[in-house]
Amino acid sequence: MILARLARGQEALPAVLLDDDKSTINDIGEIQLRVSQACSGMSFSLQFADRFGLWGVYGQPNVAWGNYARFVDDTAKLDWFLPPKSLDNRLRSR
């Protein structure tokens, strides 16, 4: 729609949005913020689903963990500096 208006030689955005350049910039910043928040939320949700096996079993395409036990094992590799007993109690108590 915006490209069609530009092709006809019209303003891309209504004059109401062009009255104050700062408000337009703030609106664009607000949109960028909301999109980034939505993407972050989706990313965390997908990881959560994988952690609890909702994407399938380990070994299928796009499945990193497949179940909570594999997640705990991978976390233990990343937290190598913690004593094994404290890591096991911290993750398995939930």
Task: Evaluate if residue 12 carries a pLDDT over 60.
Answer: no
Task: Evaluate if residue 83 carries a pLDDT over 90.
Answer: no
Region 46-61: mean pLDDT is 85
Q: How far is CA 85 from CA 5, 37, 42, 94, in A?
A: 65, 36, 33, 15
| Confidence band for 60, pLDDT divided at 50, 70 and 90 | confident
The pLDDT tens digits of the residues spanning 20-52 come to: 555 666 788 888 889 999 999 998 888 888 888
Per the DSSP assignment, residues forming a β-bridge with 60 are 58
Crossing angle (nearest 10°) for helices 68-78 and 84-92: 150
Specify whether the CB–CB gap between 17 and 24 falls below 8 A: yes
Task: Evaluate if residue 13 carries a pLDDT over 80.
Answer: no
Give the list of residues 6+ apart from residue 60 with CB closer than 8 angstroms, or none: 66
The count of C-alpha atoms lying within 13 angstroms of the C-alpha of 91, restricted to the half-sphere facing its C-beta, is 17
